[in-house]
């Protein structure tokens, strides 16, 4: 029995020497197989170019999205917290507790208000005033690292404001000039509500690279914004910057727990839903189009392989007669 077992031939394993030898034999084209070899080479080159194009375009789209996230969310927070029951008078304590939540970079109390800005030329333009503490403004790196003129040092102690470069150009302002801000909600008099008007020196000019922000945002010291917008001792909202913007949903329960009071939260996707939904649709469509290019090239290779198999029918029959298995022929 042992001698018979030893004499029994062993089947060739997957991708054995036999299969590699046969594959190499038929990969080398002879004169009558040149057409099939050329078709296979062109199809292989086509699928290489298709895959390369897919990788390059998706990388560009991902980079474009990342750059937009950096620009848009570098100025605006990833999560906005606003009070529900009463004014946000304990903003410092709430911001401190939220800063201790894992995954949160920093929480910034803010006061926002729409105003009309006037300078040395032009009739004025709409602007968004953001009241912010000096230490918090330094944390917004896209602004703090792109100060073109002036400085934000001593931002809290002065009465000056920081404006965007496009706003400075549109209003004809340079460093040290006075920008006049007019808010519709002003003082109440017997004759009705009068607009609040006040001038502030321009102490810094920044340029973040997005015209929407460079032409419309005015940063004002937090204490001065409280006086200007009649919000003594309170903030309007708290902006939260997180480590991973795509994981903001997981942080909402922790932020709500750290707030220790009824709040409402709005994340960056809700604030920019239309824009980022359009970008996502564009990415998906580009992926589908480029996948079709790869599929066409793959079908060319499949058709070439079918032609090759049909042409080698007699050779396959001989190999099968010699003992080659179906799996070996397939491999």
Give the model confidence (pLDDT) of 22-44 as tens digits: 777 766 656 555 555 666 677 77
pLDDT tens digit sequence for 66-94 = 777 776 667 888 888 988 878 888 888 99
Contact 174, 216 (CB under 8 A): no
Give every CB contact of residue 16 below 8 A, 6+ residues apart in sequence: 328
Output phi, psi for 64, to 5 deg: -65, -45
* Distance (Å, whole) CA 216 – CA 312: 72
Output phi, psi for 164, to 5 deg: -80, 160
What length does the chain have? 331
Residue scoring higher pLDDT (122 or 208): 208
The per-residue pLDDT for 300 is: 72
Q: What residue spans define the domains of the chain?
A: 14-61+279-330, 86-261
User: Which of 56-65, 135-144, 145-154, 168-177 comes out lowest in average pLDDT?
Assistant: 56-65
Report the pLDDT averaged over residues 276-291.
Answer: 79
| pTM to 2 decimal places | 0.68
Across 130-144, 274-288, 303-317, which has the greatest mean pLDDT? 130-144
pLDDT tens digit sequence for 209-225 = 888 888 889 999 999 99
CA 328 to chain centre: 49
Q: Let me know if 264 is exposed, middle or buried by CB neighbors in 10 A (0-12, 13-18, 19+).
A: exposed
Mean pLDDT of the chain: 81
Provide the 8-state DSSP code for 235: B
User: Which of 15-19, 67-71, 91-95, 287-291 comes out lowest in average pLDDT?
Assistant: 67-71
- H helical segments located in 198-312: 211-214, 222-228, 248-259, 268-271, 273-311
């Amino acid at each position: 029995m042992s001698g018979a077992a030893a004499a029994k031939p062993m089947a060739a394993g997957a991708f054995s020497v036999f299969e590699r030898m046969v594959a190499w034999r038929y990969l080398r084209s002879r004169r009558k197989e040149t057409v099939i070899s050329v078709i296979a080479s062109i199809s292989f080159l086509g699928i290489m170019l298709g895959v390369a194009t897919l990788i390059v375009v998706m990388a560009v789209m991902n980079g474009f999205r990342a750059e937009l996230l950096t620009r848009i969310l570098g100025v605006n927070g990833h999560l906005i917290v606003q009070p529900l029951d009463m004014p946000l008078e304990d903003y410092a304590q709430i911001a401190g507790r939220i800063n201790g939540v894992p995954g949160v970079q920093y929480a910034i109390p803010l006061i926002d208000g729409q105003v009309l800005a006037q300078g040395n030329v032009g009739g004025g333009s709409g602007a968004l005033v953001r009241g912010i503490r000096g230490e918090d403004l330094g944390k917004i790196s896209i602004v703090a690292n792109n100060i073109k003129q002036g400085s934000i040092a001593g931002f809290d102690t002065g009465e000056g404001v920081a404006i965007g470069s496009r706003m400075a150009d549109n209003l004809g302002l340079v460093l040290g000039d006075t920008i006049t801000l007019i808010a519709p909600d002003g003082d109440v008099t017997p004759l009705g509500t009068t607009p609040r008007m006040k001038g502030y020196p321009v102490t810094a000019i920044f340029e973040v690279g997005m015209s929407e922000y460079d032409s419309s945002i005015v940063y004002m010291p937090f204490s001065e914004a409280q006086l200007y917008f009649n919000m003594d001792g309170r903030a309007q909202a708290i902006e939260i910057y997180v480590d991973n913007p795509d994981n903001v949903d997981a942080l909402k329960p922790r932020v709500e727990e750290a707030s220790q009071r009824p709040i409402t939260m709005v994340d960056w996707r809700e604030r920019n839903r239309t824009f980022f939904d359009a970008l996502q649709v564009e990415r998906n469509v580009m992926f589908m189009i480029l996948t079709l290019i790869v599929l066409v090239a793959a079908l060319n290779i499949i058709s070439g392989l079918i032609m090759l198999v049909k042409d080698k029918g007699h050779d396959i029959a001989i190999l099968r007669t010699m003992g080659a298995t179906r799996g070996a022929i397939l491999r």
